[in-house]
Amino acid sequence: MANQIVKPSTLPGFIEWLPADQIAFNKMMDTIRKNYEKYGFIPVDTPVIEKSEVLLAKGGGETEKQIYRFTKGDSDLSLRFDLTVPLARFVAQHMNELNFPFRRYQIGKVYRGERNQKGRFREFYQCDIDIIGNGKLSIINDAEIPSIIYSTFTDLGFDSFTIHINNRKVLNGFFDAAGVENKMETLRIIDKLDKIGIEAVKNELKELGLSDGAIERIEQFINISGSSDEVLEGLKNLNIQNEEFVLGLQELSKVVYYIRQFGVPDKNFMIDLKIARGLDYYTGTVYETILNDYPGIGSVCSGGRYDNLAEYYTAQKLPGVGISIGLSRLFYQLKEAGFFKESTSSTLTKVLVVPMDENVSYSIKVSNELKKAGIITEVYFEEGKFAKKLNYANKLGIPYVIIIGEDEIASNVLTLKNMSTGEQLKLTVEEIINKIG
Amino acid sequence: MANQIVKPSTLPGFIEWLPADQIAFNKMMDTIRKNYEKYGFIPVDTPVIEKSEVLLAKGGGETEKQIYRFTKGDSDLSLRFDLTVPLARFVAQHMNELNFPFRRYQIGKVYRGERNQKGRFREFYQCDIDIIGNGKLSIINDAEIPSIIYSTFTDLGFDSFTIHINNRKVLNGFFDAAGVENKMETLRIIDKLDKIGIEAVKNELKELGLSDGAIERIEQFINISGSSDEVLEGLKNLNIQNEEFVLGLQELSKVVYYIRQFGVPDKNFMIDLKIARGLDYYTGTVYETILNDYPGIGSVCSGGRYDNLAEYYTAQKLPGVGISIGLSRLFYQLKEAGFFKESTSSTLTKVLVVPMDENVSYSIKVSNELKKAGIITEVYFEEGKFAKKLNYANKLGIPYVIIIGEDEIASNVLTLKNMSTGEQLKLTVEEIINKIG
């Protein structure tokens, strides 16, 4: 009885990769994980589904509209939309079983029912680290974070990238000193500087209701540029006595001092007084990371310092600092930009053993020895012409084929074919292992 | 303004592990992944959410009631309840871009709204491999699968486990020859043999309506025991001419022959004529895996051969063979059984560098060098007494602490403390790297 055929398809905004891409994606994810672990971060894996009342404790905002929320039986459930809220819940729930500072990493899928558009996904991977203090947390942690970004993006194969660093206390203190009330909107306008130029920015600030004096001071502020040391000097020269500004400048100076101790080259970080990362969460250091060869992607790794991670779940004050890499979007954008030129293989297999006739036992024995030596090996078991078997290796991008016929079995000398050069060598199993292992 | 505090908690049936357990869990998952990759399986990562009409194309049964199904906008969505249906959809959808036999692995979370009970989870990891042929697939693949089970469970640290193997054609053919109609129920009764004994089994079969002759033949069938070769001999001696039985016996004989070629020791596999793995899916070889020191867990790795993977999505015939490890349940049961005796560490960090005073730059320098040598290292940046700093290492289970005070900075000779023995050595950074790297 024939079944009714349902057209196989996935939901819009839900990505899945074909093998070559999935292998490249996993390689990036493994590199990120390895770096997070190298710096002593501990894995956490919270459920994808949480109680709505817990996940949405903060409530409101754009986020709530995007939540995948539903009921099952009596339960009101939501899919996590980031890894930070689950972290807050996790730390508050298990506080007595954790050691502080608690350094955790989590790599997992999150869900947002965003409007469907190119390069935006409704299911995507985030790769997060956070360092959570119990009551307080040293500012030196804020300087270690950029060293992890540096190590990670270097290992991912990037050379030219810049970690932009700012401090929200510097911004807040400066705006207070300048008499700016609508800080959020002011920042949003300043952020457009590179796009629309200084005159347009000044016009918009005027429309917002800022005084000529405030606008003049803002112009002075955003004109501070140069090396990190020059920017710190420029900020000092503003002679602002506002307590928050002074504290922020101290923090920023310490962060710059210690970043260098952690070995991040000056070419890979800068103070950028224009970044703020949204106003309601971060309270000190903030980070954005720009790949200089792919500036259109925007920030590929962002985060910052916050005063209180879990205020909706505990009265205990839990300051922290962290970053997130939106891996699915980053991978997609890099792929679109042609970053993965060398990824031509659709398999991890290094050797395909091809038996010339039905006697496959010898081929299995050879594959056992190669696998024991750590070489990923398959045997082609299916019937078919020799060309078909070679074609399997070719299409997948398997680099080597070992051909085994009667002569090879009799002599224990095998034919190793390099699939990219076509070169064929007569070698023993041991010689093959030494050559390609 | 104080927030309303929401009690932090997770949903019943949704597990999350504390660090020591999560580290042990990830180690198991990494071992499984490494083994799957060693055998040339390609990673696939399908979305957790699929269109309900696609995911539930087969429809009916216990499964549908357990589905997490909901709507968002106009879309009817379901969370995947296994990794096999998404594989079928994936292969049918991307058929022209894949190479066959297609060897894929997928490790990911699946969702089932089961009745909440100990050791049963509503969100859990499955670790699957399948080999999919286009039109046909050699029986030798059925023999390779147990070698992957063998390699994986050996690497997971088990010595005494048995892969139980049967063939559904042997069962079907035998039942047809014996005139048994209700095969499903008959199998279910036979499966209780170890629990209730042969007489009770025979009584139940009689109640089911089987003839005395049929019951006698079934008793003869399930009494066939001994080594794999003896069981094959016993089956042959039944002298059953039924075509399906003869074909199944041929397949089973080949599988036993090739399993040995793949290097699986005889002590780690056996023919078990009592296993069947549910009647509506598998069509040939079936597997279950029993940890002999933990028989109560039941099968920890099961699967088999099927004729047609994706009949609901394509008219193309796609036979396959695969297995699945239900990792969350396995981990939980092993933990309950006390398997993880040595897992006392709540961190991956190997060295904690402890500065004795506020001068932490030298400590950072030391940690940079250790990390460069591949040693996972943290610096304790927080203020506090020395005992508090050591306590952080103690509680997390960090094996080594390097203590850095004025003397150490002046002499470049550091104090390395072994936290389990209490031993303290005076060493240079290079000597420390050589010792513990």
Q: What is the pLDDT of residues B132-142, one digit of tens each?
A: 999 999 999 99
pLDDT band with cut points at 50, 70 and 90 for residue B3: low
Mark yes or no for CB contact B43/A23 under 8 Å: yes
For residue A124, which phi and psi values (nearest 5 degrees)?
-150, 160
Cβ atoms of residues A63 and A1 within 8 Å? no
Q: Select from B1, B15, B16, B352 the residue whose CB has the most chain A CBs within 10 Å, as the one to mutate to test that interface.
A: B16
Q: What's the longest Cα–Cα distance across chain A?
A: 93
**Cβ-Cβ contacts under 8 Å for A44 (sequence gap 6 or more):** A87, A90, A104, A105, A106, B16, B19, B22
Nearest to residue A352, comparing CAs of A398, A287, A406, A286? A398
Per-residue pLDDT at A343:
59
Mark yes or no for CB contact B109/A313 under 8 Å: no
Per-residue pLDDT at A239:
95
Q: Which residue of A has its CA nearest to B4?
A: A312
Nearest-angstrom CA–CA distance, A174 and A179:
9
pTM: 0.97
B26: nearest CB among A43, A97, A365: A43
Mean per-residue pLDDT, B328-356: 92
**pLDDT, tens only, B256-284:** 999 999 999 999 999 999 998 876 789 99
A17 touches chain B (CB under 8 A): yes
B395 touches chain A (CB under 8 A): yes
Per-residue pLDDT at B287:
97
Provide the shortest C-alpha distance from residue B213 to chain A (in Å). 33
**Mean pLDDT, rounded, of chain B:** 94
Q: Taking CA A20 as the corner, what is the angle to CA A19 and CA A26, rounded to the nearest 5 degrees? A: 80
Handedness of CA B41, B42, B43, B46 (dihedral sign): negative
Per-residue pLDDT at B324:
98
Nearest-angstrom CA–CA distance, B258 and B145:
11
A67 touches chain B (CB under 8 A): no
**pLDDT, tens only, A120-175:** 899 999 999 999 999 999 999 999 999 999 999 999 999 999 999 999 999 999 99
User: DSSP secondary structure string, A181-213?
Assistant: --HHHHHHHHTTHHHHHHHHHHHHHHHTT--HH
Per-residue pLDDT at B167:
97
Cβ atoms of residues B221 and B237 within 8 Å? no
B59 pLDDT higher than 90:
no
Per-residue pLDDT at A134:
97
Axis-axis angle for helices A140-155, A243-261 (nearest 10):
50
Per-residue pLDDT at B148:
98
Strands B351-355 and B320-326, sheet pairing: unpaired
Mark yes or no for CB contact B43/A26 under 8 Å: yes
**Joined tokens for residue A18:** 């074909």
Per-residue pLDDT at A64:
76
B262: nearest CB among A25, A68, A368: A368
> Kind and range of the H or E element at A14?
none
Nearest-angstrom CA–CA distance, B133 and B317:
8
Handedness of CA A49, A54, A58, A60 (dihedral sign): positive
B302: left (phi over 0), alpha (psi -120 to 50) or beta: beta
Per-residue pLDDT at B123:
97
Mark yes or no for CB contact B49/A68 under 8 Å: yes
A348: nearest CB among B5, B40, B88: B40
Among A221-225, A276-280, B186-190, B395-399, which stretch is predicted with the lowest mean pLDDT?
A276-280
Amino acid in position A360: V
Kindly give the confidence (pLDDT) of every residue in chain A, 437 residues in length, as a single tens digit, with 9 standing for 90 and above: 456 899 999 999 999 999 999 999 999 999 999 999 999 999 999 999 999 999 999 876 667 789 999 999 899 999 999 999 999 999 999 999 999 999 999 999 999 998 878 878 999 999 999 999 999 999 999 999 999 999 999 999 999 999 999 999 999 999 999 999 999 899 889 888 888 999 999 999 999 999 999 999 999 999 999 999 999 999 999 999 999 999 999 999 999 999 999 999 999 999 999 998 876 789 999 999 999 999 999 999 999 999 999 999 999 999 999 999 999 999 999 999 999 876 579 999 999 999 998 889 999 999 999 999 999 999 999 999 999 999 999 999 999 999 999 999 999 999 999 999 999 999 999 999 999 98
Q: How far apart are the first and last CA of chain A?
A: 50
